[in-house]
Amino acid sequence: PTIYVITPTYARLVQKAELTRLSHTLLHVPQLHWILVEDALQKSTLVSNLLRTSGLSYTHLHMPTAAQRKLHEGDPNWLKARGVEQRNEGLRWLREDRRAAAGGGGEQGVVYFADDDNTYSLQLFQEMRNTLKVSVWPVGLVGAMKYESPLVQGGKVIGFHTGWKPSRPFPMDMAGFAVSLRLILAKPDACFDADAPIGFLEGSFLQKLVTMDELEPRADDCTKVLVWHTRTEKPKMSTEKAMQAQGLGSDPTWEV
Ligand code: UGA
Ligand code: MN
């Protein structure tokens, strides 16, 4: 099966660095198609060039976040979910384009939602490749804990190790599951609910697809961390600003 990786991304100082690192991870994975969805009114040259020279099989899409859902400078980041419209746009492309290509949904594939700033072990992609419905595994450094994870007993998920509302439907980070393409094509209305309360985004999608009992544990019965919810520090620009004031700022035509 082909692994379809859906990644939302948005313009900021570290975007090219994040996408460079992620693309280099993905280059090591056989039979992978990258669906990169820009949170923007139009596709950017930075992302277009990066994809064209990446050596990856890819689809470049864009979908701006609705104005009333966009975070503003200084807002706490838990206020509104991020990357939602972009993941849904990736799902729309899969359902319209892949269904047509497969002549009706018979195609083998797995869909994974990979944010542009996380850290992914190559082993993770081997674990997810054979997914019947939804496969799951631990995520490191998330939820203000060392890891969050499904709890497995006798090969079945029986609960979740998480510090916050463990009774929420599917209390897992976006990085902690993959879905078979067949299931996504079979449930054409399942998508992420941008208005879901905080912490309920992943569940808003998964509860339309499976029950807890159907989850397929990976990574040695969910005992190995193969993906980390890393976050990149925002670079300081104080010296840049001071030098700009003296007419000595960095060349604005450089792509960084
Ligand atoms: C956590 C989860 O890991 C995300 O999967 C979830 O979408 C997010 O919370 C949420 O609450 O919505 P976090 O590290 O806080 O992730 O979020 P970001 O990494 O800042 O954003 C997730 C993805 O959306 C990234 O790929 C990012 O590039 C993209 N994004 C972010 C946009 O497309 N537009 C934005 O305005 C912000
Ligand atoms: Mn992140």
Instruction: Give domain status of residue 254, yes or no.
Output: no
DSSP label at 81? Answer: -
Q: Which residues pair with residue 36 across a beta bridge? A: 7, 60
User: In this structure, what CATH number is given to the domain that contains residue 18?
Assistant: 3.90.550.10
Q: What is the pLDDT of residue 106?
A: 58
**Which regions of the chain are under pLDDT 50?**
none
Q: Indicate which residue's Cα is closest to atom 26 of ligand 1.
A: 115
CA distances from 193 to 4, 165, 177, 233 (A): 21, 19, 17, 28
103 φψ region: left (φ > 0), alpha (ψ -120 to 50), beta (else): left
Closest CA to 172 of 214, 117, 229: 229
Counting the structural domains of the chain, the total is 1
Neighbours of 224 (CB within 10 A): 17
Binding-site residues sit at 8-10, 39, 82, 87, 115-117, 229-231
Instruction: Give domain status of residue 199, yes or no.
Output: yes
Helix (H) or strand (E) segment spanning residue 8: strand 2-9
Instruction: Give domain status of residue 256, yes or no.
Output: no
Q: What is the pLDDT of residue 68?
A: 84
Binding-site residues for Mn(2+) sit at 117
Could you tell me which residues come within 8 angstroms of residue 225 by beta carbon, excluding any fewer than 6 positions away?
A: 138, 139, 140, 147, 219
Q: Report helix, strand or coil for 135.
A: strand
Closest CA to 12 of 67, 108, 82: 82
Chain centroid to CA 37: 10
Buried b / exposed e across 81-110, counting CB within 10 Å, b at 16+? bbbbbbbbbbbebbbeebbeeeeeeebebb
The one-letter amino acid at 21: R
CA of 154 to the centre of ligand 1 (A): 34
Task: Determine the structural domain holding residue 84 and report its residue range.
Answer: 2-245
Closest CA to 85 of 36, 53, 43, 39: 39
For a mutational test of ligand 1's pocket, the pick from 82, 84, 88, i.e. the residue with the most ligand atoms closer than 8 A to its C-beta, is 82
CA of 114 to the centre of ligand 1 (A): 10
The interface pTM score, or ipTM, of the predicted complex is: 0.98
Instruction: Give domain status of residue 252, yes or no.
Output: no
CA of 29 to the centre of ligand 2 (A): 21
CA distance 199 to 172: 9
